[in-house]
Chains A and B, each alone.
Chain A
Amino acid sequence: MHDLVVIGAGPAGGNAALSAAQAGLDVLVIDEASQPGGQVWRAPSLGVTLAADPDLTRGQAMRMALGNAKIPIKTGFSVWSVAPISDGFEIALASEGGPEMVKARRLLVATGAQERVVPFPGWTLPGVFGLAAATLMLKTENMLPGKRIVIAGQGPLLLAVAAKALKLGKVPIAVVDYNGLGAWLRSVAGFARHLPSFGQGLTWQAKLALGRVPIRRRSEITQAFADNNGLLAEIEIAPLGRGRKQRLRVDTAFIGNGLVPGDEILRLLGVKRVPDPMTGWRIAADAHGRCGPSGLYVAGDAGRIRGALPAAAQGRRVGQVIARDAGITTSFDAVDEAPEFERFADASCRLMQVDDARISTLPDEVILCRCEDVTVGMVRQAIAEGAQDANQLKHFTRLGMGPCQARMCGANAAALLRSHAKVQPGAEYLTPRSPIRPVDITHMAGQFDYADIPVPKPAPL
Chain B
Amino acid sequence: MTKTVDLAVIGGGIHGASIALFAARGGMNVTLIDRDALARGASGTNAGTLTMQMTRAALIPYALKAHEMWVRAPEWLGHDVGVKACDGLSLAFTEAEETLLAERAEARRAAGAPIRLVTPEEARAIEPSVSTQIRMASHCTIDGFANAYLTGVAFRRALISEGVELQEYTSVDAVEPAARGYSVHTKAGVINARQIVLAGGVWLEPMLRWLSVHVPIRTLVNQLAVTERMPPVMRTVVGIASGLLSLKQYPHGTVVIGGGWQGIGDRTRNTHSVVHDSLIGNVRLAVHAIPGLAASRIVRSWTGFEAETADALPAVGAVPGHEGAWVCGSVHSGYTSGPYIARCLSQAILGEEPEMPLFPIDRLLPAVVSNPLK
Question: Are A and B associated in one complex?
Answer: yes
User: Which residues of A come within 8 Å of B, CB atoms?
Assistant: 81, 83, 90, 92, 99, 101, 270, 385-389, 391-392, 394-396, 401-403, 405, 424, 431, 433-435, 438-442, 444-445, 448, 450-451, 453-461
What DSSP secondary structure best describes chain A's contact surface?
loop
Q: Once the chains are docked, how many angstroms separate the CA of A388 from the CA of B285?
A: 37
- CB atoms of B300 and A453 under 8 A apart: no
Do residues B56 and A445 form an inter-chain contact, with CB atoms below 8 A? no
Which of A405, A433, A450, A455: most chain B CB closer than 10 A? A455
- Of the listed stretches B16-24, B69-77, B286-294, B349-357, name the one at the interface; the rest are far from the partner chain: B286-294
Interface residues on B, range: 35 or more
Known contacts A392-B40, A438-B298, then 6 further A-B pairs from the complex at CB < 8 Å, ordered by chain A residue: A388-B37, A395-B153, A396-B152, A401-B299, A441-B227, A450-B288
- Residue B175 interfacial (CB < 8 Å): no
User: Which B residues lie within 8 Å of A448 (CB)?
Assistant: 284
A selection of 12 A-B contacts at a CB cut-off of 8 Å is A386-B156, A389-B37, A392-B152, A401-B300, A434-B279, A435-B300, A438-B298, A441-B297, A453-B281, A456-B244, A458-B244, A460-B312
A389 to B298, CA, bound (A): 25
Assess whether A392 is in contact with B37, with CB atoms less than 8 Å apart.
Answer: yes
Q: Which residues of B contact A444 (CB under 8 A)?
A: 279-280, 283, 298
User: How many Å lie between the Cα of A395 and that of B152 in the bound state?
Assistant: 8
The closest CB in chain B to the CB of A424 belongs to B169
Given A445-B280, A450-B93, CB of A403 within 8 Å of CB of B169: no
B340 to chain A, nearest CB (A): 20
Q: Which residues of B contact A434 (CB under 8 A)?
A: 274, 279, 300-301
- Nearest chain A CB to B32's CB is how many angstroms away? 13
Hey, which bits of chain B sit against chain A, CB under 8 A?
A: 37, 40, 44, 54, 56-57, 93-94, 100, 103-104, 107, 133, 149-150, 152-153, 156-157, 168-169, 226-229, 240-244, 254, 260-262, 271, 273-277, 279-281, 283-288, 293-302, 312, 332
Name the CB-closest residue of A to B302.
A433
Name the CB-closest residue of B to A81. Answer: B276
- Complex interface: chain A residues within 8 A of B150 (CB): 395
Q: Which residues of B are found within 8 Å of A433, using beta-carbon distances? A: 300-302
Task: Tell me whether A441 and B293 are in contact (CB under 8 A).
Answer: yes
**A435 / chain B contacts, CB cutoff of 8 Å:** 298-301
Chain A residues contacting B260 (CB-CB under 8 Å) are: 456, 459
CA distance A127 to B104 in the complex (A): 56
Question: Within 8 Å CB of A396, what residues of B?
Answer: 152-153
The 8 A-B pairs with the shortest beta carbon distances in the complex, nearest first, are A459-B243, A458-B242, A438-B297, A395-B149, A92-B276, A460-B312, A438-B299, A445-B284
Min Cβ gap B61→A in Å is 15
Contact A90 B276 (CB under 8 A): yes
